[in-house]
Amino acid sequence: MKKFSVAEMARKQIEKAAKTMGLSEQLLKIFMCPKRLLRVTFPVQMDDGTVKCFIGYRCQYNDARGPTKGGVRYHPDVSEDEVIALAAWMTWKCALVDLPYGGAKGGVICDPTQLSERELEKITRRYTAEIMPILGPHIDIPAPDVFTTSKTMAWMMDTFSMMTGRTEPAVVTGKPEVLGGSKGRKEATGKGVFITTRELYRKIGKSLKGARIIVQGFGNVGSYAAYFLSQEGAKIIAASDSSTGIIDPEGLDVKDMMECVEKHKLLEPYKKGKKVPRDEVLYQEADILIPAALENQIREDNADKIKVKAIVEGANGPTTPEADEILEKKGVYVVPDILANSGGVIVSHFEWVQALSGLYWEEKEVNERLENKLVKTFNEVWETSEKLKTSLRISAYIVALNRVAEVYKYRGIFP
């Protein structure tokens, strides 16, 4: 069987949107190619004295609109193929929400659950040193992603600052507040998932009160999305993480589960609700599914088993193009990742602006700006979808690709 390629999936999405909007062949060629890809191998002395070599990547997909921006992922499945796809999605996401950024992504192949804090710090610092030539507040600005946190960003910022000889808070976002992290950044992606879900429900004339929701992946994005949705009166009837699935038709206690994950890292020790194999949660009867784990979760082979009326993508790339077609035929609304999870990069942009200016904002200002940007973009995507009679995903891509295409009209192709 042919191996699944996330980069190919990202390319198919661009091709489909390009065809619908009539994008020129020249621009399509540019949009299909990552601009820069760095692969590094570096040794780290482990706690037991042995030396291990790690492989890391950084891909800068397209920087036509500004310095590149994107997370750093620590996971055993990190690959060249995956960073290219994730960097491409960052490019379209930043363009969609009209940020002055291109897209990037990075990662290190490792299993963070098997590493001590000391080992994680060494890996982070050495990885940062290796990709240093292509990093910088006006070149490429990393942020947290799967299994990386504000602490990881603090180590990256410190390493960069030590090597340049000056403290540089604008080189990463998602930092602790004391280092110039923005208020509201930690919960921003989950909050964005909530806002886009609410906007979808407004458009289709429904209320979130009592809406039954499934959340796959209970990390940063999934847990905060669940939290804000439950605050609005929705019921989280099923949730999962890499260790287990949990179901309760009466609604799970999100705060309680967040405390469990804070303490034990996983949902496995959580006592309430009914435990089920983690993938079972995807197939429960509910109103909304929020995939907030990894890519390639809703595929041709399981899309038919999904029984929700709407999917709001917290994760990047959870739905394959083949699954998209099945869901479209079933009349399921899919709020695409580049819109639904863009809250994170929106507030990351606010953090970068604050770091560059040295002027820090109150949480109220951050949240108001986030809300305005997301509602405006949601409306733009919805209107495009109504006008062109196309899915929300393709509509989001059309808005994004148009923005990048517009830049090429003026910048041209060097030389």
Query: In the complex, what is the shortest distance from the CB of residue 310 to ligand NAD, in angstroms, rounded to a whole number?
Result: 18
Shortest-Cβ-distance residue relative to ligand NAD: 219
Of 61, 92, 127, 218, the one binding ligand NAD (CB under 6 A) is 218
3-state DSSP call for residue 212?
A: strand
Q: What are phi and psi of 67, to 5 degrees?
A: -55, 150
Q: Closer to ligand NAD at the Cβ: 146 or 398?
A: 146
Find the Cα–Cα–Cα–Cα dihedral 107, 265, 305, 192, rounded to 10°: -70
H/E run at residue 67: none
Of 152, 106, 157, 185, the closest CA to residue 345 belongs to 185
Question: Nearest approach, Cβ of 100 to ligand NAD (angstroms)?
Answer: 18
CB of 241 to ligand NAD, least distance (A): 3
Tokens 């009160």 label which residue? 209
**Interface with ligand NAD (CB under 6 A), residue from 10, 83, 95, 292:** 292
How far is Cα 234 from Cα 221, in angstroms, rounded to an integer?
A: 17
Smallest separation (angstroms) from ligand NAD to the CB of 25? 31
State the number of binding residues for ligand NAD (CB under 6 A).
24
Region from 38-46, 301-309, 312-320, 355-363 binding ligand NAD, contact rule CB under 6 A: 312-320
Q: C-beta of 219: minimal distance to ligand NAD in Å?
A: 2
Site string for ligand NAD, 351-390 (x = CB under 6 A): ----------------------------------------
Using CB under 6 A, which of 62, 91, 150, 220 touches ligand NAD? 220
Q: How far apart are CA 413 and CA 242, in angstroms?
A: 44
Smallest gap from residue 272 Cβ to ligand NAD (A): 17
Among 242, 296, 302, 402, contact with ligand NAD (rule: CB under 6 A): 242
Tell which residue, 203, 196, 192, has the closest CA to residue 383: 203
Taking the least distance from each CB to ligand NAD, the nearer of 11 and 278 is: 278
Tell me which H or E stretch contains 84. Answer: helix 80-96
Mind telling me the catalytic residues? 105
Tell me the DSSP string of 299-347.
Answer: -TTTGGG-B-SEEE--SSS-B-HHHHHHHHHHT-EEE-HHHHTTHHHHH
For ligand NAD, the binding residue among 68, 150, 182, 316 (CB under 6 A) is: 316
- Strand order of the sheet with strand 212-216? 274-276, 245-247, 235-240, 212-216, 288-291, 310-312, 333-335
Under the criterion CB under 6 A, does residue 221 sit at the interface with ligand NAD? yes
Q: Cβ of 196: how many Cβ atoms within 10 Å?
A: 27
> Judged by CB under 6 A, which stretch of 10-18, 123-131, 219-227, 354-362 contacts ligand NAD?
219-227
Tell me which residues in 140-199 interact with ligand NAD (CB under 6 A): 144-147, 189
Nearer to ligand NAD, 181 or 344 (CB): 344
* Cα distances (Å, whole numbers) of residue 58 to 35, 245, 317, 357: 11, 33, 18, 27
Stretch that binds ligand NAD, among 203-211, 212-220, 324-332, 373-381 (CB under 6 A): 212-220
**CA angle (383, 386, 388) in 5-degree steps:** 105
Does residue 278 interact with ligand NAD by CB under 6 A?
Answer: yes
How near is the Cβ of 343 to ligand NAD at its closest, in Å? 8
Binding site for ligand NAD (CB under 6 A): 144-147, 189, 216-222, 240-242, 278, 292-294, 314-316, 341, 344
